[in-house]
């Protein structure tokens, strides 16, 4: 019975996600759904790259959190339009939340919309919000077993950012093993190793986002 | 409508959780529901302490993961009875899963049952599985903003383990700020700083578990 209920919710969500996707396409906006565990570094990665990207294209951000507007405040400091969604305990964003948040954004002046999802390796991957691409951040401090333990989010994502790579010497994370598991799950997945504190891979991540906008 | 569905599911779950709790009480078993983000170090903390505890009392473990039996295999190496639940994509354990798993454990020879939940800071806190105590592991690599961003799990937990404390010099985690936020959310919460690699706080964590068994 529980499974049936979940299907109904997802069915309704998929309908709204399709409407979102149509709206974003008409406005020629590329939407990236950025996901990852709590503290994997999603907001820091945005902070480090969006200012650079914003010199070339118009970027807007939707921040998803259960509570607080801390992440939105961090993004706003970089002079980037941002809307905070608080799910009040909900473990993921859904298409209706993103639609409501998008109403507060000037879509005619937006080329790239980044939706930073609730910190969670499970539920966000199950809910289409109308994005063009999903991206997942995996902090290497989380361990190299995570792709096989949480496969859906890595299967769904066009790119994995192996973040906090500067902490590699202090962990037993096996980069080769993680890359192999990621490629097994998703043969075409792109993988970038990143570090916000040591400025590693940030240009590659910014370029990845810019190219997605150029292609559309 | 979505909220109503969630309430129905939780209502049914609470009923089974109450039955579990009655069964565990009759068998004089203390049950700890161990939660935390993916890669916060839940399984490593168990590996480092259970062997010591098992010299004094009978311990059993239920491992919850979406997929794989990797965690159960790690526990089994320490000669501790363990059952793996695979949720096949589900983001938390529920009371019915724990009841089914408990059927495979010799409850007459168990003093302490540790249920390691799915790696997730959100959903596991919402589902009672019939435990006596919830415990949450927060890796300091996740950032000191996590208690206020994911308050429920910290409000519900009797203890927070601030794990990977050995990595403190390489992060900007503010231990004092995290302790203050945790205590604001939950004035009686116990906090132990732990590191599996540097053997910090592991005796305190083992003692906490042992004392819970003595009291009951």
Chain B residue numbers with beta carbons less than 8 Å from the beta carbon of A123 are 91, 120, 122-123
Q: H-helix or E-strand containing A6?
A: helix A2-26
Q: Which residues of A touch B (CB under 8 A)?
A: 2, 5, 8-9, 37-40, 65-68, 70, 89-91, 118-123, 126, 139, 141-143, 145-146, 148-152, 164, 166-167, 170
**What does the pLDDT look like over A52-101, one tens digit per residue?**
899 999 999 999 999 999 999 999 999 999 999 999 888 999 999 999 99
Question: What is the pLDDT of chain B when averaged over all its residues?
Answer: 93
Task: Give the chain A residue whose CA is nearest to the CA of B96.
Answer: A2
**What does the pLDDT look like over B144-160, one tens digit per residue?**
999 999 999 999 999 99
- The complex's ipTM works out to 0.79
Q: H-helix or E-strand containing A135?
A: strand A133-139
**Best A150, A151, A162, A165 residue to mutate vs chain B (most B CBs within 10 Å):** A150
**What does the pLDDT look like over B58-85, one tens digit per residue?**
999 999 999 999 999 999 999 999 999 9
Q: Choose among B105, B106, B50: nearest CA to B78.
A: B50
Burial B116-151 (b: 16+ CB within 10 A, else e): bbbbbbbbbbbbbbbbbbbbbbbbbbbbbbbbbbbb
Whether the Cβ atoms of residue B154 and residue B84 lie closer than 8 Å to each other: no
**Best A11, A141, A153, A198 residue to mutate vs chain B (most B CBs within 10 Å):** A141
Between chains, do A166 and B170 touch, taking CB under 8 Å as contact?
A: yes
pTM: 0.87
Terminal alpha carbon distance of chain A: 41
Residues of chain A with pLDDT under 50: 1-7
């Amino acid at each position: 019975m529980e499974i049936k209920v979940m299907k109904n919710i997802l069915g309704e969500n998929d309908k709204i996600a399709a409407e979102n996707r149509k709206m974003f396409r008409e406005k020629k906006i590329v939407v990236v759904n950025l996901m990852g565990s709590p503290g994997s570094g999603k907001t820091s990665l945005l902070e480090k790259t969006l200012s650079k990207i914003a010199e070339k294209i118009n970027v807007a951000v939707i921040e998803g959190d259960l509570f607080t507007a801390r992440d939105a405040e961090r993004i706003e400091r970089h002079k980037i339009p941002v809307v905070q969604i608080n799910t009040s305990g909900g473990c993921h964003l859904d298409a209706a939340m993103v639609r409501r948040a998008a109403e507060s954004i000037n879509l005619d002046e937006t080329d790239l919309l980044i939706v930073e999802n609730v910190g969670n390796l499970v539920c966000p991957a199950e809910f289409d919000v109308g994005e063009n691409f999903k991206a997942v951040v995996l902090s290497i401090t989380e361990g190299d077993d995570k792709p096989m333990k949480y496969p859906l989010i890595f299967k769904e994502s066009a790119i994995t950012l192996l973040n906090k790579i500067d902490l590699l010497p202090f962990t037993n994370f096996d980069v080769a093993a993680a890359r192999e598991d990621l490629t097994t799950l998703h043969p075409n997945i792109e993988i970038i190793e990143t570090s916000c504190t040591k400025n590693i891979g940030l240009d590659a991540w910014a370029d990845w986002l810019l190219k997605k906008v150029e292609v559309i």
